[in-house]
Amino acid sequence: MPPYTTVKNNEVFQIYLWKIEEPESWLSRDIVLTAHCQTRLDGMKSELHRRGFLSIRHLLALAGYTDADLFYDKVGKPHLKDGTFISITHSFEFTGIIVSKKQEVGIDIEKQRDKILRIAHRFTPVKEYRTLANDQALIRKLTMVWGAKESIYKIMGMPGLSFLNHIRVSEFDMDQGESRAGVLLKGVSREFEVHFKEFEGFTLAYALSV
């Protein structure tokens, strides 16, 4: 089964997405896991989570890597042994990875849901978006903002980093599908490009360090 889609940008980074439609038995074919990852897989009670875990290993293979090439640091941030930057995401039936040899990258996929209206105050000043025409537009925008901040959070890997207080996303036009963002925490200041794509009721956000 081919990946759902592949996004490339002048070989600076590559994004691979998978729509999980295959049974676990198919996804487990030709996938060799480390002992640690096999233990993780065995401990997953949700079949969708197991299928997502395995689909990510297929995405790694598309990028030229195996499970043995992947490791996590003490804060849970993934790395590749050859120094290539990587970020991983999973939401319902979609999984994705982004890899880059040139700059730090982060990725997030989120399903567009009403729930985000209830939690928005925890990660962004909601009043900034009250000019939007309706709740559906607000859900789209807030999901983009959450995805942007989640992608940046994955890049930073800093304990104590607050979506609400430390990560800012500049105002943007949803149809343009891009924005700028920044982090300021404990004397650390970083800037990022953020890009968005929408498909099948989901939002893909990815951030690039600049």
Identify the structural domains of the chain with CATH numbers, from first to last: 5-102 (3.90.470.20), 108-209 (3.90.470.20)
pLDDT tens digits, one per residue of 101-111:
999 999 999 99
pLDDT tens digits, one per residue of 38-74:
999 999 999 999 999 999 999 999 999 999 999 999 9
Q: What is the DSSP string of the chain?
A: ---SEEEEETTTEEEEEEE--S-HHHHTTT----HHHHHHHHT---HHHHHHHHHHHHHHHHTT--GGGEEE-TTS-EEETTS-EEEEEEETTEEEEEEESSS-EEEEEEE--THHHHHGGGTS-GGGGTTSSSHHHHHHHHHHHHHHHHHHHHHH--TT--HHHHEEE----TTTTEEEEEEEETTEEEEEEEEEEEETTEEEEEEEE-
The pLDDT tens digits along the chain (210 residues) read: 456 777 766 689 999 999 999 999 999 999 999 999 999 999 999 999 999 999 999 999 999 999 999 999 999 999 999 999 999 999 999 999 999 999 999 999 999 999 999 999 999 987 776 667 688 999 999 999 999 999 999 999 998 999 999 999 999 999 999 999 999 998 889 999 999 999 999 999 999 999
The reported pTM is 0.93
